[in-house]
Amino acid sequence: MAGAALLIIGTEMLDPAKADANGPLAREALAGLGIPLRLLLRVEDREESIAAALRAALETCEVVLTSGGIGPTGDDLTREAVASVLGRGIHEDAEWMGTLEARLGERGRALTELGRRQAHLIDGAGRLDNSAGLACGSFIDLGGRVVALLPGVPREFRAMLVEGVLPLVAAKFPGKPDTRTVRFTLAGLPEVQAEEVLRPWYGREGVDVSILPSHGVLRARFSLSAPPARDLAGLEGEIRAAASAGWGIHLVSDEGATLEEKVGERLLDMRWNLAAAESCTGGEVTSRIVSVPGASRYFLGGLCAYHNRAKVELLGVSESVLAEKGAVSEEVALAMVRGARARFGASCAAATTGVAGPGGGSPQKPVGTVWLAVGTPRGERTQLLTFPAERATVVDLATNYALFLLWKSLQGE
Amino acid sequence: MAGAALLIIGTEMLDPAKADANGPLAREALAGLGIPLRLLLRVEDREESIAAALRAALETCEVVLTSGGIGPTGDDLTREAVASVLGRGIHEDAEWMGTLEARLGERGRALTELGRRQAHLIDGAGRLDNSAGLACGSFIDLGGRVVALLPGVPREFRAMLVEGVLPLVAAKFPGKPDTRTVRFTLAGLPEVQAEEVLRPWYGREGVDVSILPSHGVLRARFSLSAPPARDLAGLEGEIRAAASAGWGIHLVSDEGATLEEKVGERLLDMRWNLAAAESCTGGEVTSRIVSVPGASRYFLGGLCAYHNRAKVELLGVSESVLAEKGAVSEEVALAMVRGARARFGASCAAATTGVAGPGGGSPQKPVGTVWLAVGTPRGERTQLLTFPAERATVVDLATNYALFLLWKSLQGE
């Protein structure tokens, strides 16, 4: 089976925290052709480094894509590095020069000497037109393998990949497999525990598994591919059975819907509406509910009663309960749910109150102590969380567990 | 100058969306020794692929670190791949075997046949102890360059890097340079415009620039390094001058503080407090303000009045203004600011109302139309945004611009 490498070229991309939009796009598009990504290489703008990475890619992969380094300036060195590895020259493509001049002319600008580099092509390469930018790409057929040079700007990369590269790669490596994707959303489960179900599938031929954990919610994806003749339904059934048996109540969606989408669906089913009352989560529960398009059909609003005065005056929490039990208590969480239902006139509500930290903790209520409460026409329920963590993590965890508690209540579970 | 490569090994890491905690840590730690990261390679669990990536790394870099693939199971192939590239064998380290047996014994567990692999060492390598896990690492001195094999689990990677690898690398490549980091936070500026100031610094010797844009807010970082003799103050001054001249009012912090931190600082300076009233941003403004530790000193709370009924009943927006001007209007944004100040008893407030989409747009008010308003004891101001974008992006943009408008008002600008 053919495999692919993607070289992300640009010194600024050596910052691992810098998100790369082209990788996920290329990976998914190539998976659709049955070609898994084997190497994902971020490389500085230096000819030797690009050349070394390219040699590694050519050694192990049939499809090699590069992103970036084909612009006009002096630090755009991808063409030069690729040409030197392949022992080829570089020439100016006359037709693309004409396109460049025409496009710049329309904007009343002239082509500079550096700008001409955007019409440079590796000898023997096919030209990849750029419908979204000025630099043309190169597509080089080496017999058993291909190399394609694309621009790094995500809009240009996407256009050239879809319009130029994918059809050529599909023609070169035919026998496009059947593919299926199964997406799961899990809540309230630690990653190590969730992974028990995934582990047997890692590295299995034709199965690509990925998992994205984020503080109480996990998204797992299985991308399946098999030769056209073979049926994937059996494999998919096996995966769904393992997921359902292994994850149980924590399996919120087997279609990749989010927790907040499932909450919304369920509210619409029941013809109920919702309000939120938050303290430590500071608007995050509200924000997640509103992130679903069409949330206005069931969401009335949320109050972040950060200061105790707001809890008393705007939610009707009693001052004596606050004084006696403290703001972080089951009683106050329940009073917030009741206040939110009354003030917004909502059939359901969710509330959070806790110690997000870094300050404010005590031996009895350390940082990470959070009380959750939800109320629906069927009743009320509460939950205590104690996850010592950083402030932002406590907020995320409390938000996800509050949504999960709400979802379970709406399910009647 | 020595450069470094990091190989992130693991088929699951070929998912570009999967965050990698070890890359940022290694990059920053090596930068502290004056060693820039040149290659950041994500590689599947396949011996040929790991070997090809390692050859590329050794060709161009003096310091090569690997993360992952040294555990006990069959898909842990890093040791084998490295040994084969270097033409060396692998042996069992008797001392580490003893450690393994003792550690497992304490937990009442026996060492399995596969488990013994965690004591495997490449011939001629120094052993790297693992204070946070069971697999030991290898440190191989090749004369002009070094290779270190570390575990992929972030906690173990960190421990072994800090305790074992960095001291050895520092001893091997002495002349640790002086380093300085300058961090800027910008708001309300498109990335391409912000980059004008950065561009002259990309690729400059001893200057490492990174930029992280996120919908209206950008964080830029300059990491400077120079031989001990040379003074970096001049270079830093040059950068600060360029930043201040090029970014002007958009430069919110030259110490890397966030927009919400600067808002908080300013409120404390003025001894004012704050409330928020949100519609389209759905709690995001509130959530950002609360994300700052100690926000309780100036933040009273936020109301997300998503439904018009909540705008009327809980914020006192007049029904006739809503009917006449529509919920997305300057008048309603101002009424929300006034309502929030009155209901929470706050000296300052910020409000948002807009069309986040994907539905709800009209020719007069297309998706992305957002009215912002802020009020302080000095007065009120409003701003209209029209950024057509996806729902989540509209929310982020509106939140960042609302915080920026608030910050400018608090500055008296």
Report chain B residues whose CB lies below 8 A from the CB of A18: 210-212
Q: Which amino acid is at A299?
A: F
Report chain B residues whose CB lies below 8 A from the CB of A313: 343
| Residue A23, pLDDT score | 94
Q: Where are the beta strands (DSSP E) in A334-389?
A: 348-354, 369-376, 379-386
| Residue B229, pLDDT score | 63
| Residue B83, pLDDT score | 97
Q: Average per-residue pLDDT in chain B?
A: 92
Contact A290 B301 (CB under 8 A): no
Q: Strands A4-9, A37-43: parallel, antiparallel or unpaired by DSSP?
A: parallel
Number of Cβ atoms within 10 Å of the Cβ of A120: 21
Q: State how far the alpha carbon of B201 is from the alpha carbons of A348, B36, B207, in Å.
A: 55, 15, 7
**What percent of chain A is helix, strand and coil (3-state, nearest 5)?**
45, 25, 30
pLDDT digits (tens, 9 = 90+) for A241-295: 999 999 999 999 999 999 999 999 999 999 999 999 999 999 999 999 999 999 9
What value does the mean pLDDT take over residues A61-71? 95
- Give the Cα separation of B177 and B228 in Å (integer): 5
Please check the confidence at residue B228 and state whether its pLDDT lies above 70.
no
| Residue A215, pLDDT score | 86
Q: Could you tell me if B82 and B147 are in contact, meaning their C-beta atoms sit under 8 angstroms apart?
A: yes
Quickly state the pLDDT bin for A223 (edges 50, 70, 90). confident
Contact B203 A11 (CB under 8 A): yes
Phi, then psi, of B150 in degrees rounded to 5:
-120, 160
Phi, then psi, of A66 in degrees rounded to 5:
-120, 145
Number of Cβ atoms within 10 Å of the Cβ of B117: 19
Q: Which of the residue ranges A95-104, A254-263, B28-37, B323-332 would you say has the lowest mean pLDDT? A: B28-37
* Strand (E) or helix (H) holding B155: helix B154-160
Report chain B residues whose CB lies below 8 A from the CB of A344: 307, 310, 314
- Give the Cα separation of A396 and A215 in Å (integer): 6
| Residue A193, pLDDT score | 81
| Residue B195, pLDDT score | 81
pLDDT digits (tens, 9 = 90+) for A16-58: 877 788 999 999 899 888 898 999 999 998 999 999 999 999 9
Among chain B residues, CA nearest to A221? B15
Number of Cβ atoms within 10 Å of the Cβ of B155: 12
| Residue B221, pLDDT score | 86
Nearest CB among A60, A212, A305 relative to B49 is that of A60
Q: Could you tell me if A115 and A140 are in contact, meaning their C-beta atoms sit under 8 angstroms apart?
A: no
Residues 6+ apart with CB under 8 A from B152: B8, B9, B10, B22, B67, B68, B69, B70, B71
pLDDT digits (tens, 9 = 90+) for B180-222: 889 999 999 877 788 888 888 877 888 878 777 788 999 898 8
Contact B41 A39 (CB under 8 A): yes
The alpha carbon of residue B94 is apart from the nearest alpha carbon of chain A, in Å, by 30
Among chain A residues, CA nearest to B47? A60
What value does the mean pLDDT take over residues B11-21? 83
Q: Which candidate, B224, B169, B222, places its Cα nearest to that of B33?
A: B169
Number of Cβ atoms within 10 Å of the Cβ of A380: 15
Nearest CB among B211, B300, B306 relative to A296 is that of B306
What value does the mean pLDDT take over residues B103-132? 90
The alpha carbon of residue B40 is apart from the nearest alpha carbon of chain A, in Å, by 5
| Residue A228, pLDDT score | 66
What value does the mean pLDDT take over residues B312-322? 96
| Residue A177, pLDDT score | 75
Write out the two tokens for B175. Answer: 């002349």
What value does the mean pLDDT take over residues B329-342? 98
Q: Measure CA B184 to chain center.
A: 14
pLDDT digits (tens, 9 = 90+) for A360-376: 899 999 999 999 999 99
Nearest CB among A46, A202, A303 relative to B38 is that of A46
What value does the mean pLDDT take over residues B120-145? 95
